[in-house]
Amino acid sequence: MYWEPEKECLDKEELVDLQLERLQATLNRVYAHVPFYRKNFDALSIEPSDIKTLADLSKVPFTTKEDLRENYPYGHFATPLRDVVRIHASSGTTGSFVAVGYSRNDIKTWSNLTARVLVAGGVTKDDVVQVAFSYGLFTGGFGLTYGAERLGASVIPTAHAKVPLQIKIMKDFKSTALLCTPSLALQILDYIKQSDIPLASLSLKWGLFGAEPWSERVRKELEAGLGITATDNYGLSEIIGPGVAFECLEKNGLHFNEDHFLAEIVDPVTLKPVPAGELGELVVTTLTKEAFPMIRYRTGDLTRFMPGQCPCGRTGVRMTPVLGRNDDIVVMRGIKVFPSQIEEVLLDTLGRLPEYRIIIERDKGVDSITTRLGLSGENAAREMELFKKRIEEKLGIGVVAELADVDEFSPIEVKARRILDKRNT
Ligand code: DLL
């Protein structure tokens, strides 16, 4: 099932033509209206008309979060504020705010793109969609709601209601689709298990999770525990919010909405394209955004392109689920570790995911990881030791593990904040 079949399954040649035409229009737009880009182009003596092929885009400099911060709040907007109907701000995982804007057309585009996400994840107009993403500066709640309404599904905006209320509404309103972060879905599952709520009292069929990295192990846990088919979807405020890339029911890579966004994967150090299929940093250029176009934006997210075509028929290039952010990698004795791998071991060892926090520190150039685990009861110390042992076995590194007070963890409001990186403070 597709939302816009003629676009999602566009022939590759036609797609390239469309991308090039849209890229040129976008470059003209930013050159005319955004001083940052004009300055960058002028410094290199290039003009938008010099970009004659998609490959020529490599001549254009990257845009970073730092650039956006320097032009805060409106310096990167390409339309006057009177044509902007919405302003969101990035969640600022690693720093201060970035403001992003949408024109009326951008909101229309956004609605269609998130409708694609929903349809690919199994949702139809007959579904009751519980959106447990927050509505506010964060783009998750609004963006996915637009898509669900565009599709004609019934939306319940539970936003950041507490877990027991999420479950009550899920039961009473017979929600068939749950949209939230994977960490909230795990908390919901945990509560259902602990309270012996029978699966038969729920009507859930689909789980569409995103906004954070999550693993195949977590997917299996959520699918079995909630009786759903769970898919991953990816996006970021600087580009549009949710609706950039999404899994279909094949669950084999995330399809890029390539008619609206151009994707590159580069080596984060050399900034050159990585060889096909290698891990690197995702760089995105918007092709249709009016108010806030973005040229070669370095997302900081690590992923790889996948070869071949998906049996679903969509032609958009696929990427593997995002492993984590560039800046979250911890290198210990030459071994690269992502916080998401630690989460996976925790889930594997305990069969559930307790509250936890990962603290990364650096002393004399050597990184170390401390995990604070929200475990209680008579098995806590034993579970913690087992976890440490498994980390050594599976990841080849040693971590410090400590028991934490459950009060230490604040409730998830927008996204779980589990990584405390003290290396640059
Ligand atoms: O998280 C937009 C979104 C909302 C996506 C709802 C999906 C669902 P930001 O708050 O700007 O926007 O955060 C963007 O979150 O650069 C990634 O590091 C991370 N991220 C988003 N989706 C995924 C995902 C929204 N599916 C940042 N897997 C991005 C892994 C993700 N990381």
The model's pTM is 0.93
What percent of the chain shows pLDDT beyond 70? 98
- Nearest ligand 1 atom to alpha carbon 235: 5
**What confidence score (pLDDT) does residue 421 get?**
84
Q: Is the pLDDT of residue 94 over 60?
A: no
Dist. CA 394 → ligand 1 center (Å): 27
**H-run or E-run covering 224:** helix 216-226
**What confidence score (pLDDT) does residue 354 get?**
86
Q: What is the pLDDT of residues 154-181, one digit of tens each?
A: 999 999 899 999 999 999 999 999 999 9
Q: How far apart are CA 36 and CA 30, in angstroms?
A: 9
Mutate to test the pocket of ligand 1, among 146, 212, 338 (most ligand atoms within 8 A of CB): 212
Helices 216-226 and 339-350, packing angle to 10 deg: 40
Q: What is the pLDDT of residues 263-278, one digit of tens each?
A: 999 999 999 999 999 9
Q: Before 73, cis peptide (omega within 30)?
A: yes
More reliable by pLDDT, 330 or 13: 13
Mutate to test the pocket of ligand 1, among 134, 142, 301, 303 (most ligand atoms within 8 A of CB): 301
Confidence of residue 60 (pLDDT cuts 50, 70, 90): very high
Dist. CA 137 → ligand 1 center (Å): 14
**Token duo for residue 285:** 């250029």
Confidence of residue 352 (pLDDT cuts 50, 70, 90): confident
Instruction: Pick the residue whose CA is nearest to atom 30 on ligand 1.
Output: 213
Instruction: Pick the residue whose CA is nearest to atom 14 on ligand 1.
Output: 236
Q: Is the pLDDT of residue 309 over 90?
A: yes
Mean pLDDT of the 284-288 span: 98
Q: Which residues are near ligand 1 (CB < 6 Å)?
A: 90-91, 133, 138-140, 210-213, 232-237, 241-242, 299, 301, 321-322, 325
Q: Is the pLDDT of residue 91 over 70?
A: no
Instruction: Pick the residue whose CA is nearest to atom 25 on ligand 1.
Output: 236
User: From the centroid of its chain, how far is CA 350?
Assistant: 26
Per DSSP, the residues of 327-374 read GG-EEETTEEE-HHHHHHHHHHHHSS---EEEEEEEETTEEEEEEEE-
How is the beta sheet containing 419-421 ordered, strand by strand?
400-403, 366-373, 356-363, 419-421
Dist. CA 210 → ligand 1 center (Å): 6
Dist. CA 322 → ligand 1 center (Å): 9
Q: Is the pLDDT of residue 406 over 80?
A: no
**H-run or E-run covering 166:** helix 163-172
Mean pLDDT of the 31-43 span: 98
Mutate to test the pocket of ligand 1, among 322, 341, 344, 421 (most ligand atoms within 8 A of CB): 322
Q: Is the pLDDT of residue 213 over 60?
A: yes
Tokens 């229009």 label which residue? Answer: 25
| Closest-CA residue to 143 (of 210, 258, 240) | 240
Domains of the chain, start order: 1-325 (3.40.50.12780), 329-421 (3.30.300.30)
**What confidence score (pLDDT) does residue 95 get?**
56
